[in-house]
Amino acid sequence: MEQKKQVKSIPPKADDLSEWYTQVCLRAQLVDYTPVRGCIALRPYGFALWELIQAEFDRRFKATGHSNAYFPLLIPESLLVKEAEHVEGFAPEVAWVTQGGGEELTERLAIRPTSEAIIGTMYSRWIQSHRDLPVLINQWCNVMRWEKATRPFLRTLEFLWQEGHTVHASEAEAAEEVQRMLEIYREVAEDVLALPVIKGRKSENEKFAGAAATYAIEALMPDGKALQAGTSHEFGQNFSKAYDITFTDVDEKVKHAYTTSWGVSWRIIGGLIMAHGDDRGLVLPPAVAPHQVVIVPIVKTGDETVMPAARRLRDELSETARVLLDDREQSPGWKYSEWEMRGVPLRIEIGPRDVAQNSVTVVRRDLQSKTAVPLGEIAARVPALLEEIRRSMYERASAWRAAHTIEAAGHDEFVEALKRQDGFVLAPWCERAECELDIKAETSAVTRVIAGPAQPGQTCAYCGKPARVTAYFARSY
């Protein structure tokens, strides 16, 4: 009864993805709305998920030679405006501090929308010689972009992210760095979060303000829209010229360095909620689930066997997994429903009969499959089960994406496919900015990433001019 009530309150995912998404975010207690427009509170369960995702990225950043640091939240307007394209891209979204300590400030201070301006300024002080390069620094922090419409994780005024900022002596090294970090993003998305992504360069229209080239990973959501889940930018010498980042090279000449930046935000949580969730709520990838296993004891009046067995099981499983024994007073059914809503990968039910038979019932969140497992085997099987869940989630999401990715070569086929709004459309494209704007005006879709060069003789699926590349098109978040 209680279970029914709880499940009933969220709409089926297929009927209303947007309302389903909002309800899951709230009901799983990941986030709550706040009285601050467009800003969410990340509740303990949501933060634990974010901490685990952070740890996966952070470990890989450090393994590839990067260090964390922290730069000021506020950026004086005079610094922000130094790179023309950059300020043009971000100025409309800036929140400005104009008063401090009871006084009007003589210069407005931007709350960082991203930190190229302040980090570039510091780098120009720290770098003198080729011996100081490369500089490989990452920052985990909050940033702010004054958006109109907002949704938890996907688009909020304030959000948490990481921004890597690196400096190199040569263009080739910078280009290598950009690809290295993009590959780390792909690896965490796919191998950890079970979120299949496509990887590639952005078009001129879609690239970061101030970048020479932007690369991204893009995931496909159940409504056929693409979600940009991580970006990695080559800046060439744009920022080193704007912020005077120079070094004396081995040949004794003073040169402008090559810089990059790359970022992933809590938006990727929105991606995994939408990609994996179902009508019962969240389905979390095991590697980042705050509780990987929940043990629900089924205690009958007078029974004294279940709780001791449940506690032993918890202690045993804690060696290899994050386990919660839910010993609250609510009914087992209520707990099943709650932990399904909150996406715990494995549920273990243990009642008096199970104890008597030296067995437990194991329920997989992704498939809702139930298996009886001997008590003596469960500890050994949990790690393999968690890995099996990850693989199965990834395969399911990949199959879905494959079924929603079509190739289109002719104009009508291309336009109709985009208008169906049913996933990625891969097509030869002329790479002209105007053509992309025309496609957007007609279909709401844009390029997501460039897949590769076009075949000789191919023509643009939209405008018919010679094709230079093939590109993935979709509407996007």
Contacts with its own copies by CB under 8 A lie at: 32, 34-36, 39-44, 46-48, 50-51, 67-76, 79, 91-102, 108-109, 111, 118, 121-122, 125-126, 137, 141-142, 144, 146-148, 157-158, 160
CA distances from 133 to 78, 172, 214 (A): 27, 14, 22
Q: For 318-374, where are the alpha helices, taking DSSP H only?
A: 332-341, 352-356
Minimum Å distance from CB 158 to its own copies?
A: 5
Sign of CA dihedral 434, 436, 439, 443: negative
Q: How far is the CB of 34 from its own copies (least distance, A)?
A: 5
Considering beta carbons, is residue 32 or 434 the nearer one to its own copies?
32
On whether the CB atoms of residues 462 and 215 are closer than 8 A, the answer is no
Residue 130 Cβ, how far from its own copies at the closest point, in Å?
12
Of the two residues 7 and 95, which places its CB atom closer to its own copies in the complex?
95
Query: Residue 105 or 379: which CB sits closer to its own copies?
Result: 105
Between residues 337 and 470, which has the closer beta carbon with respect to its own copies? 337
Q: If we measure between CA atoms, which residue out of 349, 473, 452 comes closest to residue 406?
A: 473
Q: Decide whether 76 or 89 has the Cβ nearer to its own copies.
A: 76
Rounded CA-CA distance 411/461 in Å is 5
Min separation Cβ 73 and its own copies, Å? 5
Report, in Å, the least distance between residue 37 CB and its own copies.
Answer: 9
Specify which residues 331 forms β-bridges with. Answer: none
Specify the residue, 266 or 472, whose C-beta has the smaller distance to its own copies: 266
**How far apart, in whole angstroms, are the C-alpha atoms of residue 475 and residue 477?**
7
- Alpha-carbon gap, residue 382 to 388, rounded angstroms: 10
Coil/strand/helix, residue 173: helix
Q: Kindly state the smallest distance separating residue 60's Cβ from its own copies, in Å.
A: 16
Between 125 and 253, name the residue whose CB sits nearer to its own copies.
Answer: 125
Q: Measured between alpha carbons, how far is 219 from 215 in angstroms, rounded to an integer?
A: 14
Could you tell me the smallest distance in angstroms from the CB atom of residue 117 to its own copies? Answer: 10
Instruction: For the CB of residue 70, give the shortest distance to its own copies in the complex, in Å.
Output: 4
Structural contact between residues 149 and 155, judged by C-beta atoms closer than 8 angstroms: yes
| Cβ 35 to its own copies shortest distance, Å | 6
Q: With residue 293 as reference, give the H or E element that holds it.
A: strand 293-297
Residue whose CB is less far from its own copies, 83 or 436: 83
Beta strands of 169-221 (E only): which ranges? 197-201, 213-220
Smaller CB distance to its own copies: residue 43 or 440?
43
CB of 113: closest distance to its own copies in angstroms? 11
Q: 């940009």: which residue's tokens?
A: 228
Distance of CA 436 to the CA centre of its chain: 26
Q: Which residue has the tokens 């929140």?
A: 95
User: Cβ contacts of residue 30 below 8 Å, gap of 6+?
Assistant: 24, 42, 43, 45, 46, 49, 152, 269, 273, 282
Report the distance separating Cα 268 and Cα 195, nearest Å: 9
The smaller minimum CB distance to its own copies, of residues 36 and 367, is found at 36
Helix (H, G, I), strand (E, B) or coil at 160: strand
